[in-house]
Chains A and B, each alone.
Chain A
Amino acid sequence: MSWTRKILRVDLTAGTCASEPLNMDWAKKYLGQRGLATKYFTEEVNPKVDALSPDNKMIMATGPLTGTSASTAGRYSVITKGALTGAIACSNSGGFFGNEMKNAGWDMIIFEGKSKKPVYLMIENDHAELLDAENYWGKSVWDTEEGIKVDHQDPLIRVASIGISGEKGVKYACVVNDMHRAAGRSGVGTVMGSKNLKAVAIRGTLGVQVDDADKFFSAVTAGKSVLAENGVTGEGLPAFGTQVLMNVINETGALPTRNFKDVQFENANDISAEAMSAVRDSDGKSNLITNGACFGCTIACGRISQIERTHYTVADRPEYQKASGGLEYEAAWALGAATGVDDLDALTFANFICNEQGIDPITFGATVGAAMEMFEDGVLTTKDTGGIELNFGNAKALTDLSELTGKGEGFGVEIGLGSKLFCEKYGKPELSMSVKGQEFPAYDARGIQGMGLAYATSNRGACHLRGYTVASEVLGIPEKTDPLATDGKAGLVKAFQDATAVVDSAGLCVFTTFAWSMEDIAPQIDAACEGDWSVENCMVVGERIWNMERQFNLAAGFTDKDDTLPKRLLKDAAKTGPAKGLASGLDKMLPEYYELRGWTVDGVPSNETVDRLSL
């Protein structure tokens, strides 16, 4: 149980929907969601495929715990070959859509081919059909979601959709569900748009069951207590959200600023959690209205924010004066520190637009940061930017570009390329702060050395959600390591990567791992699912998933040469803070990492490793 044991296969070319049984042999080896969907994907798709061709597929997948009462167990992932990266992509989202899909009786939906005209998939439990999306094409995520609910006269429908960005081919379009929750990275929404698939709308009423209910409740209750009693998941995240990190990471000297020219932002406090909670003199209110939870989450780190009514972004636009999804740390960093913009409400507005039109705020902000550097260096002029004065710190430039990029208009088309293609196009490839085409998140690899290795080796390009060694290096979870040291980081990165692959495959949120170790997680999976889900086996499954993703990327054409960082991080030392004088020591960590992984010196899983993991 726990798996529904059913897959929905949607052939967009033929316009058909068909049910098929889940391959349970694979489920026992790859668990669910990220692992299991990637197994299906790698079996069915040629790694060399163009991400935007009809031959690419896109899978929406839940985990076995999705829809149960385990804390945070409402998640789903979108698996495809990423439009931004050309690497394996797996973007994970919270909200309520994942639970609805599971309650409708589906472990996975596999989309293949390309529809001739815009369509959306409507699912009511066993019944699935493709419907004409003519009325929604050209509309934002927010209007699409609302429109589908109104047109079907059913406010309980859950919707995942793309905005105009995904239709227009912006390279880092997201799939957004429940207004402001996104499968955000690597351009999974761009792939969805390339298939003329506007939205997936679901009503599910069938229920979810677990294998051993008594054991499950006991494990889940214990897990919830651990989260409640932990300082990060019990206090810090509910009160301040992930934004609790802004000042902490700035003090660590690892807050990349102005396209990574600096590692500390002088105005970090102005865009921090503290600023979001501060009461404004003008109207006696704060940016933060309340915290909010995703399905089943007892942490509730989500931010619901409201922009001051007189702020330039919303003064004449009442539709943006309402509360909506506020700034998380990565978005606040990318829209703020990476661009040098310190206007909190401007960042909140840009964040609203990223949600409304479905663009990844990390890649968007980082690309604007790179463009700002090129503008200040004279590589770009107002002739290129359509008149926008693209200096660091220009809030208006940032908010204008969020709308242009979200709609794929004007200079937004260029910003919509992502920093790699953009910087190459304008002759400055070295200014793209990315790995495998995907931009870094909010931790500088000079000030937190382990993250440099995590970025360089991440299977979906630079990312904080594939191996979050910040937990150990900055927060001391599970134990404190020196952020400036390279010793021991290879093992740390591998352990985080493998464990995260399990969490992402179970239906859980990775934020639980601030408090939970595999000793807390495995018993919950074991009680819900048949088969052996001991701590030891879970870690093998995690390692197996990691290696499977690696093999796909190697077959797609990536090599060990792509396991690197931009020259700026490898050569230019940090100018201030605890890491002053230090560049990334990637070369000291990478060979040991390959060895620990059981890979050759060229970064290829050895035959022994392939055999050991039964790949």
Chain B
Amino acid sequence: MQKSLSIEPEKCTGCLQCELACSYENEGMFNPSKSRIKVFDFHEQGRFVPYTCTQCDEAWCMHACPVNAITQDVATGAKIVSDDRCVGCKVCTIACPFGTINYNQSTGKVIKCDLCGGAPECAKACPTDAITFVDANWTGLEKMRNWAAKTDAAVQA
């Protein structure tokens, strides 16, 4: 069974522990500028939104890559960049509709979320459960539960 990252922005406080964990896992240092997940602060609305790759089935980045450097990890469903093959052409960064694959100037390769091989560090590091790693078929379960609870309450009222 595959799992997906589930993001609930209303729980996010904008602390960036996810970016710290992601950069440490991938770069061996604390460096949010190299994080594969990014938290956006919509200050004037008082909203924080973490955003990262959703691992599209028919991934634009994968199909666009001219050297087949992006492949699917069958076990996790993650689309993974092979540093050995990536030539830094950046076509994938144009192809991705969501902007979640980006060029890394210090290596000359692109970087994106690879689900940390099936145990994403961002989800482990999130102090408020705004990022969780759940059954890919049921990313809506928690939202459904919340609405179900409200329906129940309305009937009782």
Interface residues of A (CB under 8 A from B): 67-69, 96, 99, 103, 156, 179, 203-210, 224, 228, 238, 289-298, 300, 302, 304-306, 322-324
Contact = CB atoms under 8 A, between A and B. Distances in A.
Interface string B24-50: 100111111110000001011111100
A291 B43 CA distance: 11
A96 B43 CA distance: 14
Contact of A296 (B17, B28, B43): B17
Contacts of A304: 43, 46
Given A68-B30, A209-B29, A323-B45, A298 B17 contact: yes
Contact of B46 (A205, A206, A295, A306): A306
B46 A289 contact: yes
A207 B127 contact: no
A67 B32 CA distance: 9
Contacts of B34: 205, 207
B21 interface: yes
Contacts of B20: 68-69, 296
A358 B127 CA distance: 31
Given A207-B29, A292-B48, 10 more contacts: A68-B20, A69-B30, A103-B31, A289-B46, A295-B16, A298-B17, A300-B13, A300-B127, A300-B128, A323-B46
Contacts of B21: 69
B93 interface: no
A297 B106 CA distance: 28
A279 to B, nearest CB: 16
Given A69-B20, A291-B13, A208 B29 contact: yes
Contacts of B44: 322-324
B14 A292 contact: yes
A154 to B, nearest CB: 12
Contact of B15 (A203, A297, A323, A324): A297
Nearest to B24: A69
A238 B11 CA distance: 12
Contacts, number: 84
Interface residues of B, number: 28
Contacts of A293: 13-16
Contact of A298 (B23, B32, B45, B127): B127
B17 A69 contact: yes
A323 B45 CA distance: 5
Nearest to A302: B13
Contact of B31 (A207, A296, A297, A298): A207
What 4 A-B pairs come out closest when comparing CB atoms?
A289-B46, A207-B31, A207-B29, A293-B15
B30 A298 contact: no
Contacts of A67: 30
Nearest to B43: A179
B30 A207 contact: yes
Contacts of A289: 45-46
Contacts of A238: 13
B33 A205 contact: yes
Nearest to A67: B30
Given A69-B125, A323-B43, A323-B46, A207 B23 contact: yes
Given A228-B127, A323-B43, A324-B44, A294 B15 contact: yes
Contacts of A209: 28-30
A552 B46 CA distance: 42
B63 to A, nearest CB: 29
Interface in B38-87: 41, 43-48
A99 B16 CA distance: 11
